[in-house]
Amino acid sequence: MEERYSVKSLYQQIIQTLMDESPPGTLTLAEARQTALLILEHYLSVTQTDILLDKTKGMTYRLYQQMQAAVGRVVSEEPVQYVLGEAHFYGRIFGVSPSVLIPRQETEQLVHWVIRENSKAGVRILDIGTGSGCIAVTLKKELPGADIHAWDLSPEAIRVAQDNAQRHQAMIHTAVVDMMEEKLSGEKAFDIIVSNPPYVQRSEAAQMKNNVLQHEPSQALFVEDHSPLLFYERIIELCKKEELLRKGGAVYVEINEKMGKQMINLLEANQMKEITLIQDFQNKDRFIKGILPD
């Protein structure tokens, strides 16, 4: 049997619980509000407008219990995206699990950059370290004429990416590939390589929140301090020595905000041209592009 609930009251109740019961300093008020909206949207299809208009929604007691259990898991510092099994990215909802990183808002900027510059039909794009497939699937939806390939070393991540491709009816080619170990010469060259590889240095873990450290896959996050550009060096090696990128093709990558100058130096040392470094919405060096010379 359903009961009617004020969505504004539910929203305020969830925010209050999150602020009162979460460990000190783990959630800002803005984050609590966003989390409350995500929970209500997931369980009751509530929108921000519904809250502003104080609409009512019907809900069974069982569903109410499930929603309260979800709030409790967030209070215990589990990311709300893993609790709900989904995350928003570029206007779409993607399934996520602890085997993949939660898609970040800044990565949407990387995807938008690729889309804006590569609208030509038939462009062949490789997403290295695809995780949830949010980059690859979004590129296919926004560039339907493109040939999109998505690689990850984790079979579990590839399964999530495949599920998301099916969910959004996006035809992408997925493969379990460890780019650090496998010889990839012989692959047909790509026009574009895009990647958001591990770039957080181990020493930076002390500044990170527990909900990231305890729940998101460390192999997709961290790189050792003594080799912070390890994955970028390998991507460039794949492009040049193993000819994974065609001459005149472009590499677009997300980077550690501290590594902008080092990345420029790395690309220049490898004779990449038209190097472009751009900042994210917080004015931090976050994305870089280089073109393989003819």
Angle between helices 7-21 and 61-75 (to 10 degrees): 30
β-pairing, 86-89 vs 245-254, is unpaired
**Look-up of token digits 């870089």:** 288
Average pLDDT over residues 176-198: 88
Q: How confident is the prediction for the chain on average, in pLDDT?
A: 95
Task: Kindly state the tokens that stand for 159.
Answer: 């399964």
Segment among 48-52, 124-128, 187-191 with least mean pLDDT: 187-191
Average pLDDT over residues 212-224: 89
Coil, strand or helix: which one is 291? strand
pLDDT of residue 273: 96
208 closest CA partner among 21, 77, 81, 45: 77
Segment among 91-95, 101-105, 164-168, 215-219 with least mean pLDDT: 215-219
The string of DSSP letters for 8-41 reads HHHHHHHHHHHHHHSPTTS--HHHHHHHHHHHHH
Q: Higher-confidence residue: 204 or 114?
A: 114
pLDDT of residue 269 exceeding 90: yes
Cβ neighbours, 10 Å, residue 135: 30
Average pLDDT over residues 131-140: 98
pLDDT of residue 185: 66
Residues above pLDDT 70, as percent of the chain: 99
Backbone angles phi, psi at 138, to 5 degrees: -60, -45
Backbone angles phi, psi at 111, to 5 degrees: -65, -40
pTM greater than 0.85: yes
Whether the Cβ atoms of residue 177 and residue 151 lie closer than 8 Å to each other: yes
At residue 195 the predicted structure's pLDDT band, cuts being 50, 70 and 90, is: very high
Average pLDDT over residues 191-199: 96
Task: Kindly report, residue by residue over 151-173, the tens digit of the pLDDT.
Answer: 999 999 999 999 999 999 999 99
pLDDT of residue 48: 95
How far is CA 239 from each of CA 135, 140, 149, 198, 248, rounded to the nearest angstrom?
19, 22, 15, 18, 11
